[in-house]
């Protein structure tokens, strides 16, 4: 028997990476359409792609030539792949975009602003339709006009429309409760249908005229109004003629203020892309009814160096994920899979959609104008990003952070003696304020009513981080902050530190900002747990930066508090009764004149209201008696 030790076990083979992994997967792939995911050694998704033929597409990655530096880096990091087959390439495109939105892979192009766009709605659920701003799903009955680039663009257009067409913007409940005209009538911005200053037929004519204008038929409308004015003048109805003259003047003023009004393009989105040093800006101009309804800029994440065609294609798929595409989309750059994109957009719109890259004429001028705006917007953003990077580095140096923070969360509370208490959180990072990440917290605990700022902060932070721990227990996402900025001194910082320790998050950096001597801006004191307070020089840019962060948190929290207080003031007691919807509320208000009169009404009187059953009348009667 030999005393020699057994030979050492052979060292495990190093894990496969890159093309070797891809070659192994090729052996089991077929030629079906589908979606593939490339994973790194940690199992994180690097890239999500679609293919008309999975085997052919993936075999391209196995080649050792013809790839951009970005794709070469991605291939070199690939340690595994996942596949999903579908029936058609259109289905593959839809699945790809859903996975990109969900997983946010590093090498994909990501549209980071998915905010919805507002519309103008002429509601059709009332004899005298209301004109108002609408955002979200088009579920309410009426005629929608949009999208507009911003809420400000809608507000300006609504103001102009009210001057010209005198349509009401009040709520139905306010309309029912009026006994005399409001200020809007006095300043000639409403025809006062609430008190019978205009007939239902006359108001319907105003609504029809407003719809014609929003459909781009303003020239015919002006001619029609001019003919009516002439007829009224000849009939010696001078007051009506003067009113029509004023409407024509207002309409002319609106048309002259519309900006770019293309004659040959009735409805289109103009989308222009400018790419520079790996950063991209996409400008979208909305043309509706031969009028420009504003523009919006986007800064998609370019997937570590994607080219224009890939960025434009990814932008289109993600931008129209929850929006109806127009009949025409004008592009500054062509895309590779135009036929596939057209199929997808037509499916979403339920009609034909055209993509075009115009080379001459009015359409080309529209694209060039959008492209110029994209260039200028990107230049401004790159300049601001450079400044922001210096400020974040200065912040790290001033307070001994591990590095420039990628995500700063700033918290503040707002209330009046405990009433309508709200907590607010804002987010800032290398690209400035990240408004899509702002959050409001309605204070639910007794801390709000008791004006307990420490208790309110405990509730806000507990809700925020318990949810984050539930969604991302391994702390892999970029939703985790590097720095918490708290409005308060040593006591607040100590309390926040205790809350985070209870949650197992005591490694998060916390910085408290106190007003300091005489509560004077510029004399702020900064507090960190276990360290003496410190101050920054009055002219330090980092000090101004922190002041801006704190002021933005104040603005956000105070705005949420004011909105909550306004809702409480304007709340109708009828809204608290189960089973009382908009129609029954209108019936009760129309019958009694006010919610106070409904509260005082006897049961037989309530039962006499059309649409109110005996059981509902009893529910209303008992609701108000239980409160006394």
d(CA 172, CA 586): 7
Tell me which fold the domain 267-380 belongs to. Answer: Nucleotidyltransferase; domain 5 (3.30.420)
Peptide bond into 178 cis (omega under 30): no
Q: Please check the confidence at residue 518 and state whether its pLDDT lies above 70.
A: no
Q: Please check the confidence at residue 153 and state whether its pLDDT lies above 60.
A: yes
Q: What percent of the chain has pLDDT over 70?
A: 91
Angle at the Cα of 196 from the Cα atoms of 193 and 202, rounded to 5 degrees = 60
Q: Please check the confidence at residue 150 and state whether its pLDDT lies above 50.
A: yes
Query: Which candidate, 557, 558, 536, places its Cα nearest to that of 547?
Result: 536
Using CA atoms, how far residue 515 sits from 6, 252, 295, 547, in Å, is: 73, 53, 40, 10
CB neighbours of residue 81 within 10 Å: 19
The CATH homologous superfamily for domain 573-626 is: 5' to 3' exonuclease, C-terminal subdomain (1.10.150.20)
Q: Please check the confidence at residue 48 and state whether its pLDDT lies above 80.
A: yes
In 373-520, beta strands by DSSP E: 408-416, 419-429, 432-433, 439-442, 483-487, 509-514
Q: Do domains 267-380 and 408-415+423-541 have the same CATH topology?
A: yes
**Segment 321-353, tens digit of pLDDT:** 888 899 999 999 999 999 999 999 999 888 999
**Segment 528-556, tens digit of pLDDT:** 988 999 999 888 899 999 999 999 999 99
pLDDT of residue 309: 93
Using CA atoms, how far residue 482 sits from 516, 582, 619, in Å, is: 25, 47, 53
Tell me which fold the domain 19-107 belongs to. Answer: GIY-YIG endonuclease (3.40.1440)
Q: Please check the confidence at residue 103 and state whether its pLDDT lies above 50.
A: yes
Q: Please check the confidence at residue 28 and state whether its pLDDT lies above 90.
A: no
pLDDT of residue 427: 96
Segment of 38-47, 225-234, 377-386 carrying the highest mean pLDDT: 38-47
SS3 258: coil
Q: Please check the confidence at residue 259 and state whether its pLDDT lies above 50.
A: no
d(CA 341, CA 310): 12
Reported as a pLDDT band with limits 50, 70 and 90, residue 57 is: very high
Q: Is residue 330 classed exposed, middle or buried when 0-12, 13-18 and 19+ CB atoms within 10 A define those classes? A: buried
SS3 131: strand
Q: Which two tokens stand for residue 110?
A: 């990501």
**Segment 265-299, tens digit of pLDDT:** 889 999 999 999 888 999 999 998 888 888 899 99
Reported as a pLDDT band with limits 50, 70 and 90, residue 252 is: low
d(CA 5, CA 20): 36
Q: Is residue 433 classed exposed, middle or buried when 0-12, 13-18 and 19+ CB atoms within 10 A define those classes? A: middle
**Segment 401-442, tens digit of pLDDT:** 999 999 999 999 887 766 778 999 999 999 889 988 999 998
Domain ranges (residues) in the chain:
19-107, 121-256, 267-380, 408-415+423-541, 573-626
Q: Which two tokens stand for residue 398?
A: 């001033």
pLDDT of residue 11: 52
Query: Which candidate, 390, 425, 383, 385, places its Cα nearest to that of 404?
Result: 390
pLDDT of residue 275: 93
pLDDT of residue 12: 58
Question: Domain 408-415+423-541 maps to which CATH number in 1.10.287.130, 3.30.420.340, 1.20.1730.10, 3.40.50.300?
Answer: 3.30.420.340
Reported as a pLDDT band with limits 50, 70 and 90, residue 9 is: low
Contact predicate 443/426, CB 8 Å: no
CB neighbours of residue 259 within 10 Å: 11
pLDDT of residue 8: 64
Span 170-192, average pLDDT:
88
Q: Please check the confidence at residue 255 and state whether its pLDDT lies above 60.
A: no
Q: Which two tokens stand for residue 121?
A: 């709605």
Range of lowest pLDDT (59-73, 97-111, 214-228, 458-472): 214-228
Contact predicate 102/61, CB 8 Å: no
Reported as a pLDDT band with limits 50, 70 and 90, residue 257 is: very low
Using CA atoms, how far residue 46 sits from 39, 119, 446, in Å, is: 5, 37, 46
pLDDT of residue 327: 93
pLDDT of residue 75: 93
Q: Which two tokens stand for residue 340?
A: 């596939």
């Amino acid at each position: 028997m030999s005393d020699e030790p057994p030979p050492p076990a052979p060292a495990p083979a190093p894990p496969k990476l890159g093309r070797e992994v891809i070659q192994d997967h090729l052996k089991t792939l077929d030629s079906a359409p589908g979606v593939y995911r490339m994973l790194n050694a940690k199992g994180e998704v690097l890239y999500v792609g679609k293919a008309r033929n999975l085997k052919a597409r993936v075999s391209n990655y196995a080649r050792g030539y013809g790839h951009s530096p970005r794709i070469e880096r991605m291939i070199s990091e690939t340690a595994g792949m996942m596949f999903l087959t579908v029936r058609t390439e259109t289905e593959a495109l839809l699945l790809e975009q859903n996975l990109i939105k969900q997983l946010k892979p590093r090498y994909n192009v990501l549209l980071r602003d998915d905010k919805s766009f507002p519309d103008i709605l002429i509601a059709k659920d009332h004899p005298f339709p209301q004109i108002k701003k609408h955002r979200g799903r088009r579920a309410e009955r009426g005629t929608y006009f949009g999208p507009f680039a911003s809420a400000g663009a809608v507000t300006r257009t609504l103001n102009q429309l009210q001057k010209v067409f005198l349509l009401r913007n009040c709520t139905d409940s306010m309309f029912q409760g009026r006994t005399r005209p409001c200020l809007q009538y006095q300043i000639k911005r409403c025809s006062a249908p609430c008190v019978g200053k205009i007939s239902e037929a006359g108001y319907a004519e105003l609504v029809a005229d407003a719809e014609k204008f929003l459909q781009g038929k303003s020239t015919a409308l002006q001619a029609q109004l001019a003919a009516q004015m002439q007829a009224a003048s000849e009939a010696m109805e001078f007051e009506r003629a003067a009113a029509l003259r004023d409407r024509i003047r207002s309409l002319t003023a609106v048309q002259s203020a519309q900006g770019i009004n293309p004659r040959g393009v009735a409805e289109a989105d103009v989308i222009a892309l400018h790419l520079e040093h790996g950063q991209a800006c996409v400008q979208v101009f909305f043309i509706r009814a031969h009028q420009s309804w504003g523009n919006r800029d986007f800064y998609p994440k370019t997937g570590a160096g994607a080219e224009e065609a890939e960025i434009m294609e990814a932008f289109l798929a993600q931008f129209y994920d929850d929006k109806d595409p127009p009949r025409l989309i004008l592009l500054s750059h062509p895309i590779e899979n135009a036929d596939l994109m057209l199929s997808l957009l037509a499916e979403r719109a339920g009609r034909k959609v055209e993509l075009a890259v115009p080379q001459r004429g009015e359409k080309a001028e529209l694209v060039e104008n959008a492209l110029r705006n994209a260039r200028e917007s990107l230049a401004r953003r790159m300049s601001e990003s450079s400044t922001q990077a210096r400020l974040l580095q200065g912040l790290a140096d001033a307070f001994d952070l591990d590095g420039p923070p990628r995500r700063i969360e700033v918290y503040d509370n707002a209330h009046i003696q405990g009433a309508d208490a709200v907590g607010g959180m804002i987010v800032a990072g290398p690209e400035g304020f990240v408004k899509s990440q702002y959050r409001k917290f309605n204070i639910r605990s007794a801390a709000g009513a008791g004006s307990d700022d420490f208790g309110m902060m405990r509730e806000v932070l507990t809700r925020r981080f318990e949810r984050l721990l539930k969604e991302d227990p391994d702390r892999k996402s970029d939703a985790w902050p590097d720095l918490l900025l708290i409005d308060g001194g040593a006591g607040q910082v100590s309390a926040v530190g205790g809350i985070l320790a209870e949650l197992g998050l005591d490694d998060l950096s916390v910085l408290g900002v106190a007003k300091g001597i005489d509560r004077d801006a510029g004399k702020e004191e900064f507090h960190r747990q276990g360290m003496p307070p410190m101050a920054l020089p009055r002219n330090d840019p980092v000090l101004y930066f922190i002041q801006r962060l704190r002021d933005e948190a104040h603005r956000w929290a105070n705005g949420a508090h004011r909105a909550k207080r306004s809702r409480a003031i304007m709340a109708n007691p009828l809204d608290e009764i189960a089973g009382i919807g908009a129609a029954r509320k209108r019936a009760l208000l129309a019958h009694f004149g006010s919610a106070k009169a409904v509260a005082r009404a006897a049961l037989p009187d309530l039962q006499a209201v059309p649409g109110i059953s005996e059981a509902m009348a009893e529910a209303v009667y008992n609701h108000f008696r239980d409160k006394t």
